[in-house]
Amino acid sequence: MSVGAGVTELVAKALAEDLGDGDLTTDATVPADARGRARIVQKQPGVVYGLDAAAEAFRLTGAGDLDKLVVEGTWADAVPRQVALVAGPARALLAAERVALNLLGHLSGIATATSAFVEAARSEGGRAVILDTRKTTPLLRSLEKAAVRAGGGQNHRMGLYDAILIKENHIALAGGLVAAVDRARAAHPGIPVEVECRNADEVEAALATGASRLLLDNMDLAGLRAAVAARDAGGSPVTLEASGGVTLETVGAISATGVDYVSVGALTHSAPALDLSMLLEA
């Protein structure tokens, strides 16, 4: 993870939201010349990710540079463990604490959830790749999708601007599936076309268009197997993506149907934060 201007701006806004005109408690109780040493501790098994964003919070408050003690993107069961150290002015350390931990806990939670889904997807012999969706926190998408990659998943699309996914509303407004696909190809001939399908008839129609990928929306296991069989019987190179209500309990069976991808909105919209804390020593 690299910190660009966008992350710096986001962290600065988060600090301004939290600090306002100043930290009333710290300014009243902590001497201005006090220094401290902060330890960031992972208290729950999982994957840590987001230390660069956390480091930016400490840098912007003047607390100093964050020293990473772990390799991000790797699952750890042995907790508690120290993941980072920062030493500097005590007031600055406390000013950065909550923003740093909020970002680190949130992004680590996404990486942890993704890692769990990746493992579960292989539990019944399937080999489907886990994808995220656009169901992200506004303005945090790039960070959240980076956390998905850190957890072993892949990104579906960053936004509406970098991929074509034709859904039922597009089909209705375009005048039918074939018309929608033809228009998409004419407008953007170099971009692969993905088509959403809800049943066997729609799968058959979408396969006939030569779409690059089919999004199999809320299909049961029998429907997913039938779609895989239809694809394989025709020798089509199209890839298949299962989506809709996927959980850790169901992703193994879904993957085992033979689909190539499973997209999971919960990775970014419902992943619980990983439990981390900051311990400050004088």
User: Distance (Å, rounded) from C-alpha 121 to C-alpha 147?
Assistant: 18
Instruction: Select which of 217, 231, 241, 260 is catalytic.
Output: 217
pLDDT exceeds cutoff 80 at 2: no
Q: Quick one: tokens of 23?
A: 């930290």
Identify the CA nearest to 139 among candidates 159, 123, 154, 121.
Answer: 159
User: Distance (Å, rounded) from C-alpha 94 to C-alpha 110?
Assistant: 25
Note if 241 is an active site residue.
Answer: no
152-156: long-range contacts, CB 8 A cutoff, minimum separation 24: 152/73, 152/114, 152/115, 152/118, 153/114, 153/117, 153/118, 153/129, 153/264, 153/267, 154/129, 154/130, 154/261, 155/131, 156/131, 156/132, 156/263
User: Distance (Å, rounded) from C-alpha 106 to C-alpha 48?
Assistant: 10
Instruction: Select which of 135, 141, 149, 157 is catalytic.
Output: 135
Note if 98 is an active site residue.
Answer: yes
The model's confidence at residue 196, banded by pLDDT at 50, 70 and 90, is very high
Q: Quick one: tokens of 47?
A: 């994957």
Decide: 66 and 104 in contact? Cβ < 8 Å.
Answer: no
Domains of the chain, with CATH numbers?
Answer: 5-119+271-281 (3.90.1170.20), 123-269 (3.20.20.70)
pLDDT attached to residue 282: 87
Report pLDDT digits (tens) over 225-275. 999 999 999 899 999 999 999 999 999 999 999 999 999 999 999 999 999
Burial class (CB in 10 A: 0-12, 13-18, 19+), 190: exposed
C-alpha distance from residue 170 to each of 165, 184, 265 (Å)? 9, 10, 21
pLDDT attached to residue 5: 75
Radius of gyration of the chain (CA): 23
Q: What is the pLDDT averaged over residues 41-49? A: 98
pLDDT exceeds cutoff 60 at 183: yes
pLDDT exceeds cutoff 60 at 156: yes
pLDDT attached to residue 4: 72
pLDDT attached to residue 145: 98
pLDDT exceeds cutoff 60 at 1: no
pLDDT exceeds cutoff 70 at 39: yes
Note if 13 is an active site residue.
Answer: no
Report pLDDT digits (tens) over 69-91. 999 999 999 999 999 999 999 99
Instruction: Select which of 98, 183, 198, 225 is catalytic.
Output: 98
pLDDT attached to residue 3: 62
Q: What is the pLDDT averaged over residues 27-39? A: 98
* Average pLDDT, rounded, for the chain: 96
% of the chain with per-residue pLDDT over 90: 97
Percentages of the chain per state (helix, strand, coil), in multiples of 5? 45, 20, 35
First to last CA, the chain: 30
- Segment (H or E) for 6: helix 5-19
Q: What is the pLDDT averaged over residues 139-148? A: 97
Decide: 99 and 10 in contact? Cβ < 8 Å.
Answer: no
User: Distance (Å, rounded) from C-alpha 253 to C-alpha 251?
Assistant: 6
Decide: 159 and 141 in contact? Cβ < 8 Å.
Answer: yes
Peptide bond into 80 cis (omega under 30): yes
Instruction: Select which of 56, 196, 202, 260 is catalytic.
Output: 196
pLDDT exceeds cutoff 80 at 169: yes
Instruction: Select which of 167, 183, 198, 225 is catalytic.
Output: 167
